[in-house]
Copies of this chain bind each other. A is one copy, B any other.
Amino acid sequence: MDGGTALAPVEREESLTEKVYRSLRGALTGGRLAPGQRLVHRTLAAELNVSPTPVREALLRLVSEAALELDARGIAWVPRLELPRYREIMELRVELEGRAVARATELATFTDVARLRDLHAGVAEGRRTGNAAQVLRENERFHFALLELARMPVLARVVESLWLQAGPTISLLFRPGTSAVPGAHPHMDLLAAMAARDPAAARQAMERDLRAHGALIEAALERGGG
């Protein structure tokens, strides 16, 4: 019985808690849960056809990641992001994702950069067709793939958490039409810098990318969007 050495280890199928968590996470970053929305665990459980227990666990997990908050009564809800807090999140993202992209530039192979180029194509297509949801979704994939390349798991986890905190507000306020920044998309500069093995330039491109997006959201927040 040794033909088995070629077999991959069986994947333990994920728990219900995990499934609910992923579903909620996707809803948060995908803009299907708006700031202010309340999430009553029993109600959600009924909708998802599971018992309240795994739903409650998933909600508490999101609370511990600051993606949700509990009101005075203990009911989970999507927090409204005030401008100062949004700015703080963006400052941290600039620093941390900047670091990550510099590191990724040192480590990335030609193939890695090519893959990133493919991912950016999705973003570009969304921009052309004015599909905000697609832009956000593909942009997220691009950034997370980049984070992966940096081989900094602790940092990556922090950025994911920041992403999740800002996600609902960004989804609510982002409109791709508005972001017609002159010149090439910062992602293109970033990819060029990576191909040229220039970590500092890559970092600067990342910073421009984040600040360009960030400025749009800040403007909307100032108009009273939060």
Residues of A within 8 A of B (CB): 12, 17, 56-57, 60-61, 64-66, 72, 85, 88-89, 92, 95-96, 99, 152-155, 157-158, 161-162, 165
Residues in B whose Cβ lies below 8 Å from that of A88: 152-155
CB neighbours (8 Å) of A162 from chain B are: 154
| Bound complex: CA A96 to CA B65 (Å) | 18
Contact A92 B61 (CB under 8 A): no
Central interface residue in A56, A154, A157, A158, by most chain B CB within 10 Å: A154
Chain B residues in 8 Å Cβ range of A57:
56-57, 60
Partner of A12, one of B72, B92, B152, B161: B72
Q: Which of B85, B89, B158 contacts A92 (CB 8 A)?
A: B158
Query: Could you list 14 further interchain pairs (A-B, Cβ under 8 angstroms) beyond the known A56-B57, A66-B154, A85-B153?
Result: A12-B72, A17-B60, A57-B57, A60-B60, A60-B61, A61-B64, A64-B64, A64-B65, A66-B157, A88-B152, A88-B155, A89-B154, A92-B96, A154-B165
